[in-house]
Amino acid sequence: MPFTSLNLAPTLLKELVVQNYLQPTPIQQAAIPAILNGKDILGIAQTGSGKTASFVLPILMNLQRGNRAKNRHINVLVLVPTRELAVQVKDVFLLFAAALPIHIKTIAVFGGVSINPQMMALQGANILVATPGRLLELIDSNSVHLSEVETLVLDEADKMLNLGFKEEINRIFLLLPKKRQNLLFSATLSDDLQNINQLLLHDPLVIKIEVEETNIALIAQSAYLVSEEKKGPLLRYLIQQNNFRQVLIFTSSVYKADNVADKLRKNGIEAEAIHSKKSQGARTDALKKFKAGNLRVLVATDLMSRGIDIQFLPHVINYELPRSPKDYLHRIGRTGRAENPGEAISFITPEDEHHFSVIQKKMGKKVTIFNSEEIDFKNLK
């Protein structure tokens, strides 16, 4: 089914072509018509499935047709777990809203930065993308009212619950009008989420997008058996030997992320870390530089990876293995996206070996493991 059969405005169709969205993804094919018809949605889908556009496009269409709220009332509320995702979702709204003849204002609000500019920006906003804590602060200061919200989106709801936003979310629900459209997106369906889903959704269309096999098939996966002490030299060896220009490296802790980036810099490889302890400004700058191809290595923790959306990311390295196979798939899914081949390399210490075999089993794919002891690090620059 092409985009042209989805009842979208001709100017939006044009913008989709400009953005190189040639064919709707499965979640877009299912969600767009349903959301245009006012239905609730439960979308079990990961980042990379095209879920953002699957709600952004029909929401903008619906807003064009209806009344737009005024005086610090908003029409659409999108709740997200992290600042990075807030900015990313807002940007997709801005991109497509610019293609429409009627002015629709979208803003993103999140904690960790000054609240005043956000209070002012809320004036005249139609779509608000927010992390739960900051939203409540803005509600408490009367900067925004939720009583006219027509559509609520919960994006990456599983992550929101994992981050402990349950209470905040429940407080927010109480402030919303009873009659509204609810769109819930999550990578997984936990028991907690099942409760929210029952509380929230009215006869939803359930769309389940399995982790894309084709994506996984596109990714060249390999692993290196390596001791903890040799990880640094191995990393430098791989980056230099293969002349990697744009690498995303994952670590499990904030401390490790800083440490890996520091060591690379000391060895003349341009690297920066992004994690929850960095200021918002530093995170945004690093991400921008990395996206533009002006930063060779970005080191990130799992949480930060949610906001990293780069279409042609060629290399991902797991400096430390993630705990769950799901996170492993999510990490390596940063590469090989949208039909582009990529490469994912994992560092395996002797203690990780069993865990890595579990990951491979869950994924249904065997990964070739090389022994780093066979590599001669002496010639490292």
CB of 78 to ligand AMP, least distance (A): 12
Strand partners, 315: 247, 343
Place of tokens 């028991």: 191
Three-state secondary structure readout of 210-272: CCCHHHHHHEEEEEEECCHHHHHHHHHHHHHHCCCCCEEEECCCHHHHHHHHHHHHHCCCCEE
From 44, 51, 161, 251, residue interacting with ligand AMP (rule: CB under 6 A): 51
**What's the rounded Cα separation, in Å, for the pair 185 and 93?**
17
Count, residues near ligand AMP per rule CB under 6 A: 15
With CB under 6 A as the contact rule, which of the stretches 17-25, 167-175, 321-329, 342-350 interacts with ligand AMP? Answer: 17-25
Residue number, 131 or 372, with CB nearest to ligand AMP: 131
What is the amino acid identity at position 107? I
Residue 24 or 336: the one with the smaller Cβ distance to ligand AMP is: 24
Residues 6+ apart with CB under 8 A from 89: 52, 56, 78, 80, 108, 129, 155
Residue 250 CA: distances (Å) to CA of 68, 184, 239, 301, 374: 42, 28, 14, 6, 24
Q: Choose one: 49-57, 150-158, 188-196, 356-364; the region binding ligand AMP (CB under 6 A).
A: 49-57
Assess 59 for contact with ligand AMP (CB under 6 A): no
CB of 87 to ligand AMP, least distance (A): 13
Nearest distance from residue 209's CB to ligand AMP, in Å? 9
Closest separation in Å from C-beta 27 to ligand AMP: 8
Check residue 41 for interaction with ligand AMP (CB under 6 A): no
Within positions 300 to 359, which residues make up the interface with ligand AMP, using CB under 6 A?
Answer: 309, 311, 338
Q: In this chain, which stretch among 18-26, 145-153, 278-286, 293-301 interacts with ligand AMP, using CB under 6 A? A: 18-26
Closest by alpha carbon to 151, among 113, 102, 184?
184
CB of 172 to ligand AMP, least distance (A): 23
- The one-character DSSP state at 338 is T
Query: Residue 1 or 217: which CB sits closer to ligand AMP?
Result: 1
CA distances 221 to 173, 196, 215, 317, 376, Å, are: 42, 36, 12, 10, 22
State yes or no: residue 24 binds ligand AMP (CB under 6 A): yes
Distance CA 296, CA 247 (A): 6
What is the Cα–Cα distance from 214 to 336, expressed in whole angstroms?
9
Asked if 186 interacts with ligand AMP (CB under 6 A), we say no
* CA atoms of 187 and 157, how far apart (whole Å): 8
82 lines the binding site for ligand AMP (CB under 6 A): no
Could you say whether residue 199 binds ligand AMP (CB under 6 A)? no
Is 1 a residue that touches ligand AMP (CB under 6 A)?
no
The only residue of 50, 81, 333, 336 in contact with ligand AMP, by rule CB under 6 A:
50
Which residues have a Cβ under 8 Å from the Cβ of 94 and sit 6 or more positions away?
106
Let me know if 177 is exposed, middle or buried by CB neighbors in 10 A (0-12, 13-18, 19+): exposed
| Closest separation in Å from C-beta 47 to ligand AMP | 4
Q: Examine residue 31 and tell whether it contacts ligand AMP (CB under 6 A).
A: no
- Residues lying near ligand AMP in the complex (CB under 6 A) are found at 21, 23-25, 28, 47-53, 309, 311, 338
